[in-house]
Amino acid sequence: MDIKVLGPGCPKCHTLEKNTREAVKELGLEAEVSKVTDVNEIAGYGVFITPGLAAMKKNKSRQDRNNKCFR
């Protein structure tokens, strides 16, 4: 799973990132947590108020179109 924390870097964004990383660890998930700070990229996820969170299931097949994004 790929989890993206969406936000410019405000205190709430940092808190969401910290809480997300802790939850992933506590639940024993195989997930990569990364930050997206570019406003245009954040808007591409349909998020216009931050912080936001996007979780995408990684598909190991060759067809990337099957990846799911939960908003």
Residues tagged active-site: 10, 13
Could you tell me the two tokens for 45? 């996820």
Could you tell me the two tokens for 26? 């506590």
Could you tell me the two tokens for 47? 């998020």
AA identity, residue 38: D
AA identity, residue 39: V
